[in-house]
Structure 1
Amino acid sequence: MKIKKTIIILLVCCLCGTVSIAQNRQGGGFAFGVKGGMNLSQLTMGNFLTTRYDANGNPFLKYNGQEVRDNIQESLDSRTGFAGGVYMRFGRHLYVQPEVLLSTKGGTFDIIQNDGDVPVRQQVDVRFSSIDVPILIGLKGGPFRINAGPMASFRVGDNQKLRDAFQQYTSGGLNDALSQAVYGYQVGAGLDIFGLSIDVRREGTFTDLASFKVNNQPIGGASTTVKQKLSSWQVTLGIKLI
């Protein structure tokens, strides 16, 4: 926790310094606008073989008394969501651009249930809403821009299917499994024409969207914690108001 706070403080100091330099060198260029677009996101988590639990926290048993061990697998399927909010830009050629966006994202993973003679595949569709706060540092030449920076994402809408699916595979509860805040990055390029801004960005997470302990080993690994991360492509159109 102390390391995370130190990193955040250093980032804020660096960004404040960059804003000051940009304003001094470029005459205090400033812009404010609104933007909206779409996210195309995907979950990553690996493949796990783990015990299923009932509502009382006891291992779920087959008819022959053996514990049920299901296979949890990541999926390559993507989900489309919405992104919209406001942005500010400080500076002209070298600039800092903080944003506040309401985003909907998601992905899928598969659970192969082995309680019967024939395994049954169940796909879990994950969708959630968050407030995303990226702080980007960029360079602009003519109408073209490149930018990158850190992002904090605060979950404001749960996906009950995700919670229900996880509940079956941990006997320790889910109080800390679903992260309230996720930290990541955005990197991309943009184009400014006649007060309009078009941006294409790649977004990823440093911290886990969700994690929980399992009792059995994952396939091909030695960890006993399932960790979900999120990666997205984001395309937005912005309108400069000031």
Structure 2
Amino acid sequence: MKKLFAALIALTLFSVSAYSQSGLGIKGGVNLTNISTDAGSLKNNISESLDTKTGFAFGIWGRIGDKFYLQPEIMVATKGGKVSVTPFGGGSPELVDVKYTNLDIPVMIGFKPLGFLRVMGGPVASVKLSEDMKLRDALAEYTTNTGEAFSNSTWGYQLGAGITLLGFDIDLRREGGLSDINIMNFNNEDKFSQRPAGWQLTLAKKIL
């Protein structure tokens, strides 16, 4: 299902590019992310860490328009962060390194105030491709959940700016979450809430 969804989006991008003057391109770069944690009544046992995790991002983009433009993208992105977990019954907190991989589908609305400068923003739909189980394992004493820790689909946003230099597009975007990524529930406790935030720096090249 995930592969079919990605294939349909890819076909849409190629079709859009064929009928626009802006074309199609490839891009890649890095993500710097952390996870904002609101654990409700578990806040003394689970908290966020300001440490960031470095991941990668790569994919394709299509652009419709010039001065004002619409830019859908398909990106494979690794993200994560660190969460501080205190063992059940007390003890020294453990810093858990969290990692997951998404298929991100941003739809950016952009504006070019200058020929080489762009500003953009828009929603991002994310489909989870994989996750490690470190967070679920670290929280095993707090929950009977034996499945995955993160939701299969979430919503977020990106806001940023970019420049065109020597035929390449360089973009810096701020990323944030609009929905919880964590789906774990805890015995006699509030739902565990987590949202990602961070920065993405990419280098893009038009190919069609």
Query: Which digits, 9 at most, give the CA deviation of each residue in 1:132-165, with x for residues without a partner?
Result: 0000010013110001011011111111112212
Give the superposition deviation at 1:40.
Answer: 0.2
| Structure 2 counterpart of 1:213, from 161, 177, 185 | 185
Q: Secondary structure at the match of 2:154?
A: strand
Q: What is the match of residue 102 of structure 1?
A: 76
Q: What is the match of residue 181 of structure 1?
A: 153
Read off the aligned partner of 2:87 and give its amino acid letter.
Answer: Q
Give the superposition deviation at 1:32.
Answer: 1.1
In 2, distance between residues paired with 1:207 and 1:176?
Answer: 17
Give the superposition deviation at 1:207.
Answer: 0.8
Q: How many residues align?
A: 190
- Is 1:70–1:114's contact at 8 Å kept on the other side of the alignment? no
In 1, distance between residues paired with 2:54 and 2:37?
Answer: 19
Distance 1:174 1:149, change over 3 A: farther
Give the superposition deviation at 1:125.
Answer: 0.4
In 1, distance between residues paired with 2:169 and 2:49?
Answer: 33
Give the superposition deviation at 1:47.
Answer: 5.2
Q: What is the match of residue 199 of structure 1?
A: 171
| Structure 1 counterpart of 2:51, from 77, 99, 108 | 77
Q: Give the aligned CA root-mean-square deviation in angstroms.
A: 2.2
Which one has a bigger Cα radius of gyration? Answer: 1
1:144 aligns with 2:107: no
Give the superposition deviation at 1:31.
Answer: 2.0
Give the superposition deviation at 1:113.
Answer: 2.1
Q: Secondary structure at the match of 2:66?
A: coil
**Structure 1 residue runs without a partner (length 5+):** 1-18, 51-68, 218-223
1:170 aligns with 2:143: yes
| Structure 1 counterpart of 2:33, from 41, 45, 62 | 41
- Is 2:24–2:60's contact at 8 Å kept on the other side of the alignment? yes
Q: TM-score, normalised by structure 2?
A: 0.83
Query: Which digits, 9 at most, give the CA deviation of each residue in 1:205-229, with x for residues without a partner?
Result: 1111103333456xxxxxx111010
In 2, distance between residues paired with 1:177 and 1:112?
Answer: 18
Give the superposition deviation at 1:72.
Answer: 1.1
**Structure 2 residue runs without a partner (length 5+):** 1-15
Give the superposition deviation at 1:121.
Answer: 1.7
Read off the aligned partner of 2:170 and give its amino acid letter.
Answer: I
